[in-house]
Structure 1
Amino acid sequence: MKEALRKTGVDIIGEVPWGTHFCLFYETKSDLLEILVPYFKAGLENNEFCIWVVSEPLNEGEVIEAMRRAIPKFNQYLEKGQIEVLSGAEWYLKEGEFNGQVVLNGLVARLDLTSAKGYEGLRGAGCVFWGKEDWKKVVDYEEELKEVIGRNPMMTICAYPIDKCGVSKVIDLAVNHRFILLKKDAKWELVESIRLKRIEEALQGSEDQLRLITDSLPVLISYVDSEQYYRFVNKAYENWYGLLREKIYGQHIKEVLGESGYQVVQGYVEGVLSGKQITYETLVPYKSGGIRYISAIYVPDFDERGKVKGFFSLVTDITEKKRAEEQLIKYREHLEELVEERTAKLKKANERLQQEIIERRRVEEALRENERRLNRSQEIAHLGSWELDLVNNRLTWSDEVFHIFGLQPQEFGGTYEAFLEVVHPDDRAAVDAAYSGSVREGRDTYEIEHRVVRKSTREIRIVLERCEHIRDASGRIIRSIGMVHDITERKRTEEALLESEERYRTLFETSPDAIALVDLNLNIITANQPALVLFGFESPEEVTGKNALEFIAINDRSRAAGDASELLKTGRAKTSEHSIQIKNGTLVPAELTASLIRDTERKAKSFIVVIRDISERKASEEKIRVYEGQLRSLASELTLLEERERRRIASDLHDHIGQNLALSKIKLGELRSSVSSPLVRPLDEIHGLIEQTIQYTRSLTFELSPPILYELGFEAAAEWLAEQIQEKHGISVDFEDDFEPKPLGKQMHILLFKAVSELLMNVIKHAQAHKVKVAIQREGSNIRITVEDDGVGFDILEANQLGGLKGFGLFSIRERLRHFGGSLQIRSGPRRGTLVTLLAPIEQKRN
């Protein structure tokens, strides 16, 4: 198919179509410039995007300078980016070796740029750069390049140095190029590729046959590429548009069809280019030819990689056919109008009859549906309806009335008297009097609450009866229409609510505690009598509406407001102590317990606050604190007194009994040396008994009051005690002291020594330990003592609940330490050993 031609700028070549691929064999740089400079000049002047890939023997600077000399506006073309001059080494060896696919990708990217910038096509040239091992890749690249060029609006010249190409390389290149340019005897010659020529001739023959066939068909046949440019049209296209096919080739669909026509078919074109076959009929407003009704088929054309490279279009003008169909439709409509006109009366009569039947059925069905809905609604609401014909004494009930009264329809007589029989005997007279009176007195309505006795279960239900009376033309009541509402559950709920309210009212009014109801803004709703008495008021009106925070001490109000916010957030009742301010301004300690009152939807409605005057409790607690302090002082004095007595006894044992025993031992030794042998043995036995008594006396003296405690201080005494425990009980005892000065008062010496002794004895008795560690160190103005064992341990919480700490003697130690400003802490657990920490203040030096 013949396409529009492009100027090459090279006289020997002339004009060629898009898709032409040249091979240029050169010897010098002048050969290259002689061909390529006019070649690119023609491309720039014909709105083409140009790319020159430069390799030896030229460089980019030489190329640009040569083009500046030959092309007057070259700098403008270069500045707007219509031409690129690139390095061959970077273009062909981008990844260090020749890669044809990378080169082709770069070329395709420039094609996209060409279309985006509105250029008519791409013109390229390159001095192909390859390595020793790259020739096969170059040949494959040329083959693929030929395919890319053939499918797109582009032409290119591939330049090769003739001195580097042997016969085999020249043949390889000739196969893949349409034309070959070479110099012979200083003249350029254009050689056409034999293989391509033969292929072209064969294709030309096939194309002629195809054109003959397509031109004979009364269908518009065309081929459009993926960019929506016409590449082939048949004779029918020429006749349709009044243009030679050569004028259509290379034009965009929009240019041929016009803007309005293109808008109609654009969606179908995009559909076929996405790979779908499209069939449609529509009206198209053509730029030339007017509005035509067409039937079209678009068939996609795929390349070997499955990519759509264009599509075949078969378009049939069905305008006349559509006009004929419209005429036929109009004629048929005319005939139908005549038939309809002649049969109009019969049709209308039939329609009226059918409409009446349909309407009657619709009304009947609507009535049945309304009746079903009414029965269902009455069942859900426990609401029944009734109608009493006073003239004929005929009473009609709905289904729900039967259900409320516990009757089956066949069990009811359908009269006013039958109704009275199911009314509770105690209410029957009142019901009859109320209804009969409303009729007799001519009232328009009747309403009453009464009880009924269900026949089926003998269950008593409470109902609300209400009706309206209907009058005749003379104003006489002839019919009553009413309803029966089962309100048993509502009555029970109301009664339960009344009982609950009465119960809470009684509790509120009779409670000995002060109670106040407070809204969510903390304004008092009401208060009971104990609350009024507590705050010094005489009536609820004096406090109603006041903010509850006004009755809290000023410095305590923010905490009270925070408690209210927390209660509103968590919903959990909260008890806290506050100072309340009564009417005369006096502050009274009180315990406030606040809870939320919620409505039926569980939303917070108000607060109920119970206020207890805890003045007496606070006074009692203060007395207890004073007594506790006095007891601690007394206990300390008793401990000191006990220690003094122990020291006196120990001193007496040592100074008197010990000395006498020692003197007796000496005298007994002197006596033994002066008596006869029969008395020696008894004297030795006495001597041994005295020695044991002396040792026991010494031990007892240390146990009562170790002298080392008074002579060397607490640390030395504690270390001695650790050694004694280890020696007597066989348990490993480690002792540590930081040797920092820890001045202690006499009472503190005694208290801490007794505490450590008590703790070590607890370890021996209860811990089942193998090791125990005693550590003493100074911490600021305190002395810190730890006793840690690896024994069985115990549960501290359980021991506290069972009074275990008292059993271990730790309670008294803790209380005595607390009296002096110290503390005792225990960390233990089952099978985790025990760590006891004592902390006591040391004596501060006075100036």
Structure 2
Amino acid sequence: MNRRSVPVAYPELADISKVGLFREARRDENLDGLTRLTSTVLKSPIVLFCLLAGSRPCVRSDFGVPESWTSGSDLPLADFVCRHVAANEAPLIVGDTRDDPAFQNCSANQIEDLAACLGIQVAWEGTDLKGCLCVMDRMPRRWTENDVRLLREFAQVFADQSEVRLEISQLERHRAEFEQKFSERELKLRAILDTEPECVKVLDAAGHILDMNPAGLRMIDADSLDQVIGHCVYPLVKTPYREALKHLTQAVFSGESGTLMFEITGLKGSSRWVETHAAPLRDANGNVTALVGVTRDITNRRNAEQNQKQIENSLRETSERLRRLSESVLAMLEADRRRVARELHDEIGQVLTAVSINLKVVQSKAHESLWPRLDESMKIVDRALQQVRNMSLELRPSMLDDFGLEAALNWYVRGFEERTGIRTQFVAAAPGYDTPETIRTTCFRVVQEALTNVARHAKAQNVLVELRPDSESMRLLIQDDGLGFDHQAAMVRASLGASLGLLGMQERAQLIGGELEIESKPGRGTTVAVWLPLAAVDAAKAG
């Protein structure tokens, strides 16, 4: 076969150097085995497999290469051959180098060792990688078509082997990059954990410490990680909370997360309240391998909460004592009102009635000149008697105890309308309802105070008083169409002692477990709504 000459080109293949396919990388035993096999099959004493990176051929595997090719200052003959073959798709076929003009610049020593050569380009689909597989002989040789076919098949095998090697090298490079990044991230994570002010710990399923940051070591009074690594945390937990922490650990290794507050005793005897948030740490397959927990010292918060609870309990007890005292005061007040009202009605009322009768008897026997004086005296006694009766009813109307809440309110509402001229309507949703005494008194006093405020301040034209009892509670409504007022501001003034009427109504309702709400705006009238539970009254009776 004659030599086939084609233009030489040198593509950029710097990527090869990144994946370790040059001579600087370790020798590939598989490629060296193929090189020896190629020498045997083609009966060639010299075989070269090279890759091309820019203008630099790099031998990846060789067999039988003379030492003179790599010595001295001249360009190695192998570089020339490899550059030419790798850059051209057509095979290089030279039967006698001494007759070929392309080899005239080679040294005599090199030419002496190379009389004939056959080279095939090695290429990888989808990449710019190029290489060559060359067989050479020290004697002139006529290359056959079969030689070219066999060398081309070997070139394909070399390409396949090198591609696998390339992929492996890429994987190794990626793994190295990943390991470097992972190492960098691990260092960053460790730096973060070391500066984290909260305790961060890693435990196994049995509660043994696998890792802990400096904050955690300080929390348990440990001088170093070596002092506690591999030790169980449960003995540090006070007995009442130990089982709860074990259950939390089991839950975490079942894939759950959780939070727990408990008390610990450090290695040096210090006691702390802590709160831990625990979550599962999983591997790449999703399996739980450890517990990771963040624990904070809540001793100060716990102490503050305990102090707050003590203060709240003290306030609750004080409030309860005040409530009972208020109940007692109101009960005593109602008892005094009842007694005074009875005395006014029974004692003073009877005395004034007797005086009036006596004056009438005297008048019937007196001289006519005394009649005007006696008439005036009898009118004075009658007015006094009426005032005594009104005072008695205002203090405690006897009908409230004798005839019930509905009758007392109906009487009071009619009297209010007569005294003030304000149209007032009373509605009882369930006439004849038997109301407990405490409920009767509270409702009557609230209506008294509310209507007094209407008469003094509201300038209303119409008032509605509605009573709605049911099986569980009593509901009372007092509504007017008057001027209205700023309820919130009025309550503030009342709390400062400016007016006790609003607070008095509210306190009466609250003392028996009820609620009182006032809805009012300037120019829109006022609504007082009261809700009183019957259960609280029954409980008070039972107590």
TM-score (norm 2): 0.45
Pick the structure with greater CA Rg: 1
TM-score (norm 1): 0.30
- Higher share of residues assigned strand: 1
